[in-house]
Amino acid sequence: MKAKFNLLCLLLFCIFSYTACKKVPDRKPGEKEVVPPHKDDEMVIWGGSPALRQSLLDSIRLITGNTDPVNIEKCLSCDGQLELWSGEAIKLFGSETVRGGSKSRVSASGTETVYYSLNFDIRFPFNKEALRSSDFKIPPFPIKSTNDKRITVAIFDSGLDPALSISREAATCIVEGQNGWNVVAGTDNIRDDVPSRHGTVVTGYVHVPYLTELDILPVKVLDNTGASSLFKFLCAIAFAANSDVDIINASLGFYYYDATPPYLLTDYIEEMLTKKGILLVTAAGNADPGADASALAFGIPSGELRNIDRHYFLPGSLSGKLKNIICVTTVNEPGGMLAVNNTQNYSVNNVTVGVLADSTISGAGYGMFLHPFENKYIDGSSFATPKMTREVALWLIKNGMFDAPFDRDDILQRMKNDGFLTTSSDLTGSIRNGLLLKPSLY
């Protein structure tokens, strides 16, 4: 009876006062509801006037019958319309009406929209070594930018080891964030506290010593366990988009199961990054036992688990739709033929570039990269991603940033013409156009 009452309330919510909830497309036959890990009592809100957001809150209370206070947290990273709502009413509303994704509500005039979504968990791609302590030493040297900078790369990760000190002259939308920002804590403390120093390693692949035209802006999105949330990720996007960056490196993401990716995530990236001409270079993702089990329960065949056209890994799976996203995976060369690592994801529509591993593990089906700070090899799409970011940045320093709106495929084609990229027929069934990053020209 309660479920019927809530459904009736939801229909009234969509019909009266304001119009229309976007409909989540029907699932394919045999697919079951599987909700990615998220914070049960939290919901991300974006857009709309205060009156429209208040109407949404009033409707939530009507639907759930719960009038307890709802905590509203503002994003401190330069977007006043991005909020996190939490409380018992939000928990009840999320479990009944927002399960599986995100929706939106449009004003009666059709001139404004408020989006709402579950606050999904985000982390760096699964890697069993990622949380093990690593004692590598970094020779102290500064990452310094000057007024001759040409390209700024924001690195969304777990922060930076103090040995890689940042000294920037460029301003950001938060005064205290000139040398980096911590969206987890809302401070300028960007110290990398993940045991493996994941963010430091990623930065090591991007940084080019003594090349002052390449500016790096660290954005700490991941906590000391490598975890984050959709809200924190969007706050990081807001900070970067309002701080004059050209490229974002995001070696992170989350698996998703519904037929359509969350509207809020897609439209937010389009509004804040695509329309502003900011490239998002992101990981295709790795095999994850927990996510794979959920995918199988959802109805995705075992042979499609690594295909992010079917088993979405976001934001990488949005690259087919949003032309500012470059989604990256690792390629190895077993037996003389190129192939995507069998521990990483592929897609003929959404994975845009493969990065050739420094070493292929014989008989294992995957390749690894030389660690930037010690004599050992590591693997994961987390590390293929910054290698691509570095080469895109170097190419743009030489050729200049494109005006928005631009087509990422045009940049990749020109990089290919200049010898940064090549194509391989071995990869056309697993990477869009079979594109492969060549060994660095620098």
Report how far residue 327's alpha carbon sits from residue 421's, in angstroms, rounded to the nearest whole number: 14
The answer to whether the 26-121 and 143-437 domains have the same CATH topology is no
Name 136's Cβ contacts closer than 8 Å, sequence gap at least 6. Answer: 197, 371, 373, 374
Work out the angle between the directed axes of helices 50-64 and 2-15 (0-180°, nearest 10).
160
Which of 341, 243, 331 minimizes the C-alpha distance to 286? 341
Model pTM score: 0.90
Q: Which residues pair with 83 in a beta bridge?
A: 45, 74
pLDDT at residue 208, rounded to an integer: 81
pLDDT at residue 11, rounded to an integer: 41
Report how far residue 327's alpha carbon sits from residue 385's, in angstroms, rounded to the nearest whole number: 8
Q: Where are the domains of the chain?
A: 26-121, 143-437
Take residue 128 and report the two structure tokens written for it. 């069993």
Report how far residue 190's alpha carbon sits from residue 182's, in angstroms, rounded to the nearest whole number: 5
pLDDT at residue 96, rounded to an integer: 64
CA angle at residue 200 from 199 to 206, to 5 degrees? 90
Report how far residue 35's alpha carbon sits from residue 276's, in angstroms, rounded to the nearest whole number: 32
pLDDT at residue 141, rounded to an integer: 56
pLDDT at residue 24, rounded to an integer: 41
| Region 143-437: CATH code | 3.40.50.200
Give the pLDDT of the chain (442 residues) as one tens digit per residue: 434 334 444 444 443 333 334 444 444 544 456 788 899 999 999 999 999 999 999 999 999 999 999 999 998 778 889 999 999 999 999 866 665 556 666 666 667 889 999 999 999 887 655 555 566 777 665 565 555 557 899 999 999 998 887 777 778 889 899 899 999 999 999 999 998 899 999 999 998 877 778 889 999 999 999 999 999 999 999 999 999 899 999 999 999 988 788 889 999 999 999 999 999 999 999 999 999 999 999 999 999 999 999 999 999 999 999 999 999 999 998 778 999 999 999 999 999 999 999 988 766 777 899 999 888 899 999 999 999 999 999 999 888 777 777 789 999 999 999 999 999 999 999 999 999 997 665 5
Report how far residue 146's alpha carbon sits from residue 169's, in angstroms, rounded to the nearest whole number: 6
3-state secondary structure of 389: helix
Take residue 231 and report the two structure tokens written for it. 């809200």
Give the architecture (CATH level 2) of 26-121.
2-Layer Sandwich (3.30)
pLDDT at residue 15, rounded to an integer: 34
- C-beta separation of 154 from 251 below 8 A: no
Distance spanning both ends of the chain, measured CA to CA? 67
